[in-house]
Structure 1
């Protein structure tokens, strides 16, 4: 049996055993027999990457697989990259998706998503956390289709991904400017930041699409060397900033 199928069975088994877990509003079960209709044909348009506001953060919702009435994907938001699995039903040209994250992370919850063939570039819906807290509440969203594309040419400091930096490129920058320059390298690769100040810095930029929480194997040799150089100057700015009035 494929690992994907084992994962699916495990998740559905956990959900069946945990009947007291919160469910999305209006959802009675993840059993297909309780849904309006069985999925008889799936538009390829339902697959893809959808991006938009998710409370105060930006989320990327990736729908990666639909097999019969089972749907799989990932949500990338707030420094977290979480898989989800669930059921999709179709009535006329409207798809209803009920999907759940595994539940082994305190930020996990359940999605209820609506997708219409008449508007293939948008999904709308809500998300409900399994354990609501003052910091973690239900959210509504409207996301637009947008795929991650790596580009060396975006950002305030694109040279940090284009060529090896020299001392003259960084020695007159403030500590914050250096931090932005360094983290732009990660942002170009779609890194989803945990730090709130960095999320706020990048999430309002049109080119930025949070796509992953691990970019270690994505950086070029040039970018790796530039990160090392920038960090050295960040440390210098931290140690000697007051002395030099920076």
Structure 2
């Protein structure tokens, strides 16, 4: 009888411990990954116990969501409903094991006219991607005339790479697709003008002045 009581106490203690762990499990505040094999999506979380709110950034658009975290036998499930109306509103279902493991994610639309998405997310912080990209010098020194004697497509790339290093969430599909290929790029902000350095602002200005005179040829990438 004594052994049975001890077993019962141990079982109840484990159940209470598991419940407490589920209540206090903290998910990393920011995650990113390829949403549709072409564009990156970033999710940002605020957590209060099992209640989770935040927003996603995709195609330069911020969409808020809220929901909760549920414990399963082997992981945690986040069900997050987007706030708003329209065919592009739905919910995220995220399978979360730890901040060191990818999140297996799916997005399910409220409208049957929109295709659901299945993708993975990795924990990543928003930070300036110093020295990254093909033209890091555009952020460290003023560009001279010799630097700008290139095709217009290359000039456009140089200019947008400055914004990409600061985590700009591109609204145009072309540039969103282009920088989604790089691990260092994470869409974090819908506006980064205030984050540009004096050198970067001047280089953006110089590139824009030269672009109308550059030959419009494909840049071999």
Range class of TM-score, shorter chain: 0.7 to 0.9
8 Å CA contact 2:63, 2:82 repeated in 1: yes
CA offset at residue 179 of structure 1? Answer: 0.2
Which residue of the other structure, out of 198, 201, 209, is the alignment partner of 1:224? 201
Whole-angstrom distance in 2 between the partners of 1:183 and 1:132: 35
For CA contacts below 8 A with separation 6 or more, give which structure has more relative contact order. 2
Instruction: Report whether the alignment pairs 1:58 with 2:40.
Output: yes
Which residues of structure 2 form unaligned runs of 5+? Answer: 1-18
Distance 1:162 1:106 in 2: 43
RMSD of the TM alignment (CA)? 2.3
Q: Say which of 46, 53, 56 aligns to 1:75.
A: 56
Partner of 1:139: 117
Tell me the TM-score normalized by structure 2.
Answer: 0.80
CA spacing shift, 1:57–1:180, aligned 2, 3 Å: same
Correspondence for 1:42 among 16, 21, 24: 24
How far is the alpha carbon of 1:201 from its aligned partner? 1.6
Check whether the contact 1:152–1:162 (CA below 8 A) recurs between aligned residues. no
Q: Structure 1-normalised TM-score?
A: 0.73
Aligned to 2:4: none
Aligned partner of 1:130 among 92, 97, 110: 110
- Asked whether the equivalents of residues 125 and 140 of structure 1 are also in contact (C-alpha less than 8 Å), the reply is yes
What SS does the aligned partner of 1:225 have?
A: helix
SS in 2 for 1:147: coil
Q: Any conservation in 2 of the 1:186–1:215 contact (CA below 8 Å)?
A: yes
Residue segments in structure 1 that go unaligned for 5+ positions in a row: 1-36
SS of residue paired to 1:217: helix
Count of aligned positions: 198
Residues 34 and 180 in structure 2, CA contact (< 8 A), matched pair in contact too:
no
Using a 3 Å threshold, how does the CA distance of structure 1 residues 228 and 105 change in structure 2: closer, same or farther?
farther
Which structure is larger by alpha-carbon Rg, 1 or 2? 2
For 2:213, the equivalent position in structure 1 comes to 236
| Alignment correspondent of 1:158 | 136
